[in-house]
Amino acid sequence: MRSEEVYEKLKQWVEDNRSHTMLGEPAQYIPALANQDRDQLGICIMDIDGETYKAGESDVKFTLQSISKIISFVALCHFKGLDFVLDKVDVEPTGESFNSIIPFEIHRPGKPFNPLINAGAITVASMLPGDTVSEKYERFILFVEGMIGHSLELDQEVYESEWKTAHRNRALAYYLKESNLLDLDVEEALDIYIRLCAICISLEDLAKIGLVIAHDGYDPIEERQIFSHDVARIAKVLMVTCGMYNSSGKFAAHVGIPAKSGVSGGILASVPPKWHSPEKAFRKGCGIAVFSPAIDVNGNSAAGTMLLRQISEEWDFSIF
């Protein structure tokens, strides 16, 4: 498919799905996110040559929020090994809300069900290499910057807003500390977790990360292996089974690509290579990033989800 056709289709599909922003609202429980423009919808797709295809509000920057969970999982596995991480965090869906305390009270699992719920992500963040919060943050940010090729910044307003309202996450952290799962004190573990959520990123940066995950940890643009095939494989499994909160099953059925959402309205998606149907777009795989801050009851971008569904159906992206 010619580049001009791809651009035109993306522009049309963004406008087709813009009305779906009315199906959600910006995250109200984080004051710094509550006033985002709900009508925004943007997308960036990056192919193996580094060519980007953008439409809508594609130059906006936003905070990673829960998208950071899959990246921190990958980073920790890269630094300390997959076996080490899976000994501390499982890879099972919960059926509960991403910030629920119920699994600890009812099941007493001994470790978080997966790294994409808050309990798992706090555990993972606390185990990043380094002795202090600053050292752990620095190692993580350097890992991400190594993938995207430039520096990133913390959104201080969002960080402070989340810190002041992190009551449930603080309660989760105490449960984790009681279970001897944190490498830091409660406040320090919460601090590093919130810092990762508050990193500011662009759609193009996120699409590059999605591209690397899609290609099993290999950067096809720079032609280098960033993290192992095994880590990328588990990351994609987690994205399919747990990446879209309690809508993960429906997303897998109707969109069918590994993805991770965040309550700021971002979605990171990875489309692995698919060699049949060569007339379709992006047969060699791609990374996709979508942003629209109006989120639904499950915490996923309402319009972003619908846009990805249309793209996947039209271009046969589903891995199933």
245: left (phi over 0), alpha (psi -120 to 50) or beta: left
CA–CA distance from 90 to each of 121, 144, 238 (Å)? Answer: 11, 23, 10
Q: Interior CA angle at 35 toward 29 and 38, to 5°? A: 105
Rounded CA separation 193/136 (Å): 10
**Residues 265, 43 contacting (CB under 8 angstroms):** no
Catalytic site residue from 74, 263, 271, 290 = 263
Nearest Cα neighbor of 112 from 156, 103, 22, 204 is 103
Nearest Cα neighbor of 140 from 212, 226, 199, 72 is 72
236 is catalytic: no
Catalytic site residue from 137, 193, 208, 255 = 193
> How many residues are recorded in the chain?
320
Could you list the residues known to form a binding site, using ranges. Answer: 66, 118, 162, 169, 193, 245, 263
69 is catalytic: yes
29 is catalytic: no
263 is catalytic: yes
**Residues 108, 173 contacting (CB under 8 angstroms):** no
Map 72-104 to HEC letters. Answer: HHHHHHHHHCHHHHHHHCCCCCCCCCCCCCHHH
Q: Interior CA angle at 217 toward 213 and 218, to 5°? A: 110
Catalytic site residue from 85, 186, 245, 301 = 245
Nearest Cα neighbor of 25 from 34, 13, 16 is 34
**Residues 79, 86 contacting (CB under 8 angstroms):** no
Rounded CA separation 150/50 (Å): 15
Burial of 109 (0-12, 13-18, 19+ CB in 10 A): middle
218 is catalytic: no
**Residues 48, 286 contacting (CB under 8 angstroms):** yes
Catalytic site residue from 58, 66, 100, 312 = 66
Could you list the residues known to form a binding site for substrate, using ranges. Answer: 66, 118, 162, 169, 193, 245, 263
Catalytic site residue from 9, 54, 69, 260 = 69
> Active-site residue numbers?
66, 69, 193, 245, 263
